[in-house]
Amino acid sequence: MTTPVQNTLAIVCGGGPAPGMNSVISSVTIEAKKSGWEVFGIYDGFSNLAKGEKKIIPLTIDMVSRIHSDGGSILKTSRFNPTKSDEHLRRVVDTLIELGVTHLVTIGGDDTAYAASRIAGYAKNSLGLTISFAHVPKTIDNDLPLPEGIPTFGFETARSLGAQLVSNLMEDAKTTGRWFLVVAMGRVAGHLALGIGKSAGATITIIPEEFSPNEKIPLSLVVDIITGSIIKRLASGRNYGVAVTAEGLIERIRIEDLEAADCLEYDDHGHIRYAEINFSDVLKKELLANLNSLGIRMTVNNKEVGYEVRCAPPNAFDIEYTRNLGYAAFDFLRSGGTNALITIQNNMIVPISFDDILDPVTKKTRIRTVNTESIQYRIAREYMIRLEKRDFQGGIDFEKLAVAAKLPPDEFRRRFQYVTEY
């Protein structure tokens, strides 16, 4: 077989939605069509290709010229992973070849990037054909291993909208005299929770990176940290606040504690289905029990933040950023490049080899976590209202905390001082 002469580019969206997907589709299509290439939009990620179905749409400049400011994806998206089955992988490649596809732009996270790499490898090794690909990194979690300070697209819009929602909850809390528990999306890392909490001026934000990655933590620790924040606010005459936590905390908590909270579901293989746990419900239940044990009466409401921000119209930053990324992805392919994640660094197009973002041990894409030693995190901690070591040094302020907790000073110290070690 010989590689087709006509350059034909396919665009595939994988994983969950993120603001700016349409903008990438738009800029890739415009540049490719200007260069005389055919462009196909593939519907529903790799799911239809794996069934041998050509659910596609030929894209034109007129079709995409004004979609850059729209949320969602005109091509939809899917989490289907074709690499889990050799049959699916082969069928994806065969279908792309039948369509005459020579180049591929994938828009997604680590799983989508890995799938694209496997597809290109299969085409080369099994059929002797070249399918060049470029991957545009997308996730509101901001956890792909890009250089420090460079966000994944969609994160800034999600953070901005999430901060607006939490700011509204802060005002509600102040007006009605209550606390809100907010759980922000973030499968592993706490970037979105911290970004939302810091931008909105939330009372406290708790992320997985605060704790040692080598051991599980008790659920009671998270609850006591929030309880301590409530006590500190009460001691200053404020009976309201908002606590933001990261979804990824759930995987750091001891299994026996989650079992005791009666919130676990298991899949057919006996693995815990973390995605099915409503973490904000668990936290609310345990927090209220903790407050009641101290005799503190407090209205607590819980809120999950995630789905509301995924398909929001991108803000100005993400529109410009994704138009740049889309252009960069096509320019990279047009120049003969392949097998890379596309980034913009110091106003330059910088492709990162897919092999360079793999963990050498797990062979999976590395996860970028929050650097708790960074100035950004240190400043965030300074503006939180949470129990600190200095609060237990004695004096009138310490006594006010004990009174607010309705505990004798020595008992208050014994009960809550340990949270300051985290």
CATH of 158-309+387-421, one of 3.40.50.11860, 1.10.10.10, 3.40.190.10, 3.40.50.460: 3.40.50.460
DSSP string, 144-212: S-PPTT-PPBTHHHHHHHHHHHHHHHHHHHHHHT-EEEEEE--SS--HHHHHHHHHHT-SEEE-GGGS-
Domain boundaries, the chain: 8-152+314-356, 158-309+387-421
Catalytic residues: 141
Which has the higher per-residue pLDDT, 90 or 267? 90
Question: Which distant-in-sequence residues (6+ apart) come within 8 Å of 82 by Cβ?
Answer: 46, 49, 50, 88, 89, 91, 92, 115, 118, 119
How many angstroms separate the CA atoms of 141 and 65, rounded? 28
pLDDT at 347 over 60: yes
Write the pLDDT tens digit of every residue in 286-342. 999 999 999 999 999 999 998 999 999 999 999 999 999 999 999 999 999 999 999
Instruction: Summarize pLDDT for 403-421 with one digit per residue, the tens.
Output: 999 999 999 999 999 999 9
User: What is the model's pTM?
Assistant: 0.92
Has residue 3 got a pLDDT over 60? no
Domains 8-152+314-356 and 158-309+387-421 share a fold: yes
Residue 268 has pLDDT above 60, yes or no: no
pLDDT in tens, 217-246: 999 999 999 999 999 999 999 999 999 999
* pLDDT tens-digit readout, 131-179: 999 999 999 999 988 988 899 999 999 999 999 999 999 999 999 999 9
For the domain spanning 8-152+314-356, the CATH number is 3.40.50.450
Q: Which of the four pLDDT bands, split at 50, 70 and 90, describes residue 2?
A: very low
Q: Name the nearest CA neighbour of 166 among 205, 206, 197.
A: 197
